[in-house]
């Protein structure tokens, strides 16, 4: 009888609890954020003995997502004033700086993407902009210098040998090196614009302009301000943050105003059916572990870009509020009845999924709704105190294009030349495609992009088999749809690694 009652209570609770939020009440928003943050951090074990500080369990969480989580927690502290997670944030970020103090620790070299490094750098940049406590040890690198280090190294990797410029996806010659993608370049754009604003050093701004212009020329930003053929939310978000920051840095340059407006309009169209934020992988259950977190960055940077470009505030905040309400309503999972899933559009029904990404997305969308009540990002002339080191970073980790880091194994060597030749041909073809895609238009170009991706996936599969890399499984962030609006065409290796992603 008692058990039946307990069970009943649990069931009633689960249905009834959700996360309550009143998006017009700061205290209510803070409370909702603290619930989401608590559940997010519960996945982190890095501060327990025997674990590696800074890292979420991998699998399923790749190293980059840990950096993204620290960024979310710095924002959480900034938005709410709650210092609960500051110690683990400090420890985690500083533990992972690596010997060159550039967020390129040796343990992670087998999967180091420019975007991965950038997500850690953007967390450090947020720390500088919000005056997060400085690292306690004099030998520790300042938050600002960490972002400068990553910037310096990434501009050293700017590669004009193909496609007239651009940053490759991967730092080293591993799977994904043959791709120049939106997220890597978008993150560099984001970092450059924010460094320009923080330091008032125009060198950074010139790079921001250069990255934007290259992305536009090559077609990663199209004439309607869609980012990439696939429109993932985090690509659009990181570019929006950069453009709005450039608008602010230039004191309202009409060119950046037009771009910022164009981007937010495109974002509203692409990711907010019925006013509720939704990424392209959700409808067909195709989101992998990485992608579960993407809405966190869209929320984060939509919120912060309203500080840089107040003229987009009304439009942006309305979308964030309706999304926050929908997100809170479906946080009914788990034993506490407050675990969040990903499908906010399900009218208050939890989709049965849980994880760091889901929690982070909910956390960031909640807190973004109170953006007008928090301080704007600081600069070194408005109170920012993080110490500048314009020469930070190790030039040798810019890695010249021909350098390999993983020596071939015996198995690799057999047929290695054939593979090399094959990959070289494919890469040349892929790049030829990318370079000409800027002049193609409409569905033809986009549909070709789908085919292109499939081919590249095949190449990578072949390449992946013989290599001894730490993870054994390359990521597939760039796998998606043919073009916006069409059903997702999943590629073979996508599902394989997606399953692996979910096993833990
Ligand atoms: C790790 O950090 C969390 C969150 O701050 C805290 O609750 C937990 O007690 C810490 N664990 C250890 C072993 O310090
Ligand atoms: C690198 O990996 C080793 C072995 O797991 C671990 O002891 C060390 O703390 C790691 N370092 C970083 C920076 O993650
Ligand atoms: C801010 O940083 C820039 C570039 O490093 C430097 O020239 C300037 O003097 C700094 N301003 C302040 C107030 O520290
Ligand atoms: C730049 O940002 C500040 C802080 O939010 C804001 O007060 C100012 O109006 C912005 N500049 C422009 C041109 O919008
Ligand atoms: C959610 O509710 C709205 C309005 O009642 C309805 O139009 C929509 O189809 C519902 N969506 C789902 C996924 O149930
Ligand atoms: C690169 O770094 C090395 C050692 O850190 C230094 O000796 C060299 O001058 C640097 N090269 C450039 C071009 O900065």
Q: Is 346 in the pocket of ligand 5 (CB under 6 A)?
A: yes
Between 461 and 47, residue with greater pLDDT: 47
Any alpha helices (H) in 352-441, and if so which ranges? 356-368, 410-413, 416-437
Instruction: Please name every residue paired with 113 in a beta bridge, in sequence order, or none if there are none.
Output: 170
Most confident of 215-224, 432-441, 454-463: 215-224
**Is ligand 3 within 6 A of the CB of residue 389?**
no
User: What is the Cα–Cα distance from 461 to 466, expressed in whole angstroms?
Assistant: 9
Instruction: Considering only residues 371 and 491, tell me which one the structure prediction assigns the higher pLDDT.
Output: 371
Mean local confidence (pLDDT), 344-359: 97
pLDDT reported for residue 489: 28
Region 37-53: mean pLDDT is 98
Query: Which atom in ligand 2 lies closest to the alpha carbon of residue 96?
Result: 13
Q: How far is ligand 3, taken at its centre, from the CA of residue 201, in Å?
A: 8
CB 67 within 8 A of CB 19: no
Pick from 51, 174, 30: which is nearest to 116 by CA? 174
pLDDT at position 17: 81
Q: Is the CB of 223 under 6 A from ligand 3?
A: no
Residues 113-124, mean pLDDT to the nearest whole number: 98
Give me the mean pLDDT over the 98-114 stretch.
93
The pLDDT of residue 10 is above 60: no
Of 503 and 141, which is predicted with more confidence?
A: 141
Render pLDDT for 51-96 as a digit per residue (tens, 0 to 9). Answer: 999 999 999 999 999 999 999 999 999 999 999 999 999 999 999 9
* Range(s) within the chain of domains with CATH label 1.50.10.20: 2-379
Average pLDDT across the chain, whole number? 82
Residue 394 predicted with pLDDT over 70: yes
In this predicted model, what pLDDT tens digit does every residue of 189-202 receive, in sequence order? 999 999 999 999 99
Spatial CA neighbour of 73 closest among 94, 93, 103: 93
Half-sphere exposure of 252 (CA within 13 A, CB side): 2
* Six token digits for residue 156: 């050293």
Share of the chain above pLDDT 70, in %: 75
Per-residue pLDDT at 340? 98
C-alpha 339 to ligand 5 mean position (Å): 21
CA nearest to 481, candidates 225, 266, 291, 243 = 291
Write down the pLDDT at residue 270. 96
Q: Find out whether the beta carbon of 308 lies less than 6 Å from any atom of ligand 4.
A: yes
Binned at pLDDT 50, 70 and 90, residue 221 comes out as very high
388 lines ligand 3 (CB under 6 A): yes
Enter the DSSP assignment of 110: G
256-314, pLDDT tens digit by residue? 999 999 999 999 999 999 999 999 999 888 999 999 999 999 999 999 999 999 999 99
- The yes or no reply on domain 2-379 and CATH 1.50.10.20 is yes
Is the CB of 88 within 6 Å of ligand 1?
yes
At 439 the three-state DSSP class reads coil
Q: Which residues pair with 170 in a beta bridge?
A: 113
Average pLDDT over residues 477-504: 28
Cα 273 to ligand 5 centre (Å) = 11
**pLDDT the model gives residue 206:** 98
Give CA separation, 17 vs 63, 109, 349, 473, in Å: 33, 43, 12, 39
Instruction: Tell me if 260 sits within 8 A of 245, measured CB to CB.
Output: no
Question: Between 414 and 79, where is the model more confident?
Answer: 79
**Three-state DSSP class for residue 397:** helix
User: From atom 9 of ligand 2, which residue's Cα is the shortest distance away?
Assistant: 52
Cα distance between residue 240 and residue 261, in whole Å: 9
Kindly tell me if the per-residue pLDDT of 231 is higher than 90: no
pLDDT at 14 over 60: no
Query: Does the C-beta of 248 come closer than 6 Å to ligand 4?
Result: yes
């Amino acid at each position: 009888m008692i058990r039946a009652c307990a069970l009943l209570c649990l069931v009633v609770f689960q249905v009834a609890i959700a996360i309550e939020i009143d998006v017009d009440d700061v205290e209510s928003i803070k409370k909702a954020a603290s619930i989401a943050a608590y559940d997010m951090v519960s996945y982190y074990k890095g501060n327990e003995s025997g674990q590696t500080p800074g890292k979420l369990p991998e699998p399923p969480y790749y190293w980059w997502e840990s950096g993204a989580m620290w960024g979310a927690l710095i924002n959480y502290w900034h938005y709410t004033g709650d210092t609960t997670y500051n110690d683990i944030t400090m420890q985690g970020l500083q533990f992972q700086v690596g010997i060159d103090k550039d967020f390129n620790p040796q343990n992670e070299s087998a999967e180091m993407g420019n975007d991965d490094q950038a997500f850690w750098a953007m967390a450090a940049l947020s720390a500088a902009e919000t005056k997060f406590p400085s690292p306690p040890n004099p030998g520790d690198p300042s938050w600002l210098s960490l972002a400068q280090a990553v910037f310096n190294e990434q501009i050293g990797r700017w590669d004009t040998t193909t496609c007239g410029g651009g940053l490759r996806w991967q730092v080293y010659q591993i799977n994904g090196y043959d791709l120049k993608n939106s997220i890597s370049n978008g993150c560099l754009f984001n970092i450059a614009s924010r460094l320009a604003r923080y330091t008032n050093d125009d060198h950074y701004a010139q790079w921001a302009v250069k990255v934007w212009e290259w992305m536009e020329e090559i077609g990663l930003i199209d004439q309607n301000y869609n980012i990439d053929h696939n429109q993932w939310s985090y690509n659009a978000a990181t570019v929006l943050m950069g453009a709005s920051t450039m608008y602010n840095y230039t004191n309202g340059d009409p060119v950046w105003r037009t771009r910022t407006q164009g981007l937010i309009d495109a974002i509203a169209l692409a990711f907010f059916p019925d006013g509720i934020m939704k990424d392209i992988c959700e409808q067909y259950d195709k989101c992998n572990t990485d992608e579960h977190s993407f809405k966190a960055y869209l929320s984060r940077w939509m919120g912060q870009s309203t500080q840089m470009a107040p003229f987009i505030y009304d439009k942006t905040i309305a979308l964030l509020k309706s999304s926050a309400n929908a997100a809170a309503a479906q946080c009914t999972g788990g034993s506490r009845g407050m675990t969040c899933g990903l499908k906010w559009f399900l009218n208050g029904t939890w989709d049965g999924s849980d994880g760091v990404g889901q929690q982070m997305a909910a956390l960031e969308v909640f807190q973004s709704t109170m953006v007008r009540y928090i301080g704007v990002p600081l600069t070194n002339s408005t109170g920012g105190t993080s110490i500048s080191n314009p020469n930070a970073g190790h030039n040798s980790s810019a890695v010249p294009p021909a350098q390999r880091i993983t020596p071939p194994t015996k198995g690799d060597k057999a047929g290695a030349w054939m593979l090399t030749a094959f990959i070289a041909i494919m890469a040349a073809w892929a790049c030829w495609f990318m370079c000409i895609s800027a002049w193609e238009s409409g569905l033809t170009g986009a549909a070709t992009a789908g085919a292109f991706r499939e081919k590249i996936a095949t190449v990578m599969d072949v390449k992946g088999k013989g290599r001894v890399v730490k993870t054994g499984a390359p990521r597939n962030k760039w796998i998606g749809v043919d073009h916006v609006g069409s059903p997702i065409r999943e590629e073979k290796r996508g599902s394989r690694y997606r399953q692996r992603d979910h096993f833990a």
